[in-house]
Chain A
Amino acid sequence: MKKMKKVLCLLISACLAFTLAACGTSGSGAPAPTSNTPASANTDVSAPSNEAPVRSAELTIMMSFSSFMEQWETYCRQFEAKVLAEDKIELKINLEMPSSDMYDSILQARMTGSDAPDLYTIHSNNIGVYTEAGNLTNLSGEALAGKIFENVKNTVTVDGNLMAVPIESQAWAVLYNKAMFADAGVTPPNTLDELKEVCAKLKDKGYTPFMLAYQEQWVPQLMTALTLGGKVTGDVPDWLTRMYKGEASYEEMRDIFEVINLIMENGTSRAMEQGAEVGAAEFANGAAAMFVQGTWASNTIMTTNPEMQLGVLPLPVNNNPNCTLVNLSTSTVLGVYPNSTEKDLALKFANYVLDDNDSAALFQSCGFNPLATSHKYEVSSWVADAYKYVEDGRAYQDLILPSSVTDEQGKLMQELYVGSVTPDEIIERLNKVFQDANKLSQ
Chain B
Amino acid sequence: MRSKKYENLNLLIYVFPALFVYIAFKMFPAASGLFYSMTNWNGINKTYNFIGLTNFIDLVSDSYFWQSVVFTCKYVAVMLVIANITALGIAVAIESLPRFKGLYRTVYYMPNMISMVIGGYMWRFIFHKVLYYMADNWGWSFLDQSWVGDTRYAFISIIIVAAWGAVGYLMIIYLAALQGVPAALKEASSLDGANAWQSFWNVTFPSILPALSICLFWTLNSAFQVFDVVYSLTGGGPGRATQSVAMNIYEEAFKGNIRYGYATAKSTVLFIIILIITAVQLRVMRKRGDE
Contacts and interface: CB of A to CB of B under 8 A. Distances in A.
B238 A440 contact: no
A100 B140 CA distance: 37
B255 interface: yes
Nearest to B231: A101
B257 A417 contact: no
Interface in A402-430: 402-404, 407-408, 411-412, 414-415, 417-418, 420-421
Contacts of A108: 43-44, 254, 258
B132 interface: yes
Contact of B254 (A104, A134, A412, A415): A104
Contacts of B149: 214-215, 270-273, 418
Contacts of A42: none
Interface of B: 42-46, 127-128, 132, 146-151, 235, 237-241, 250-251, 253-260
A217 B235 contact: yes
A273 to B, nearest CB: 5
A436 B43 CA distance: 18
A418 B45 contact: no
Contacts of A130: 44
Interface residues of A, number: 35
Given A133-B44, A273-B146, A420-B151, A217 B256 contact: no
Contact of A420 (B132, B239, B253): B239
A105 interface: yes
B256 A216 contact: no
Contacts of B46: 133-134
B25 to A, nearest CB: 13
A418 B44 contact: no
A28 interface: no
Interface of A: 104-105, 108, 111-112, 129-130, 132-135, 214-217, 270-273, 402-404, 407-408, 411-412, 414-415, 417-418, 420-421, 436-437, 440
Q: Give me the 4 closest cross-chain CB pairs, A-B, nearest first.
A: A272-B149, A404-B256, A415-B239, A105-B254
Nearest to B251: A407
A421 B241 CA distance: 11
B242 to A, nearest CB: 11
B241 A270 contact: no
A411 B240 contact: yes
A128 to B, nearest CB: 11
A272 B235 CA distance: 11
Q: By DSSP majority rule, is chain B's interface helix, strand, loop, or mixed?
A: loop
A407 B43 contact: no
A111 B44 contact: yes
Contacts of A411: 237, 239-240
Contacts of B128: 273
B238 A414 contact: yes
B154 to A, nearest CB: 9
Given A273-B127, A415-B241, A403 B254 contact: no
12 contacts: A108-B254, A108-B258, A111-B44, A132-B45, A215-B149, A272-B238, A273-B128, A273-B147, A412-B239, A418-B146, A418-B149, A418-B241
B44 A420 contact: no
A418 B151 contact: yes
B255 to A, nearest CB: 6
A116 to B, nearest CB: 10
A217 B149 CA distance: 12
Which of B148, B150, B257 has most A Cβ within 10 Å? B257
A440 B45 CA distance: 14
A403 B46 CA distance: 20
Nearest to A440: B257
A411 B254 CA distance: 16
B240 A272 contact: no
Contacts of A412: 239
A8 B173 CA distance: 36
Contacts of B251: 407
Contacts of B240: 411
A418 B147 CA distance: 12
B150 A272 contact: yes
Which of B238, B240, B257 has most A Cβ within 10 Å? B238
Contacts of A104: 254-255
A130 to B, nearest CB: 7
A403 B44 contact: no
Which of A108, A135, A272, A403 has most B Cβ within 10 Å? A272
A417 B150 CA distance: 10
Contacts of A111: 43-44
B44 A414 contact: no
Given A108-B254, A408-B256, A411-B240, 18 more contacts: A129-B42, A129-B258, A135-B44, A214-B238, A215-B235, A270-B146, A272-B149, A273-B127, A273-B132, A273-B148, A402-B257, A403-B255, A403-B256, A403-B258, A412-B239, A418-B239, A418-B241, A420-B238
Contacts of A132: 45
Nearest to A275: B128
A177 B146 CA distance: 28
A64 to B, nearest CB: 14
Nearest to A441: B257
A275 B181 CA distance: 51
A178 B241 CA distance: 38
B238 A418 contact: yes
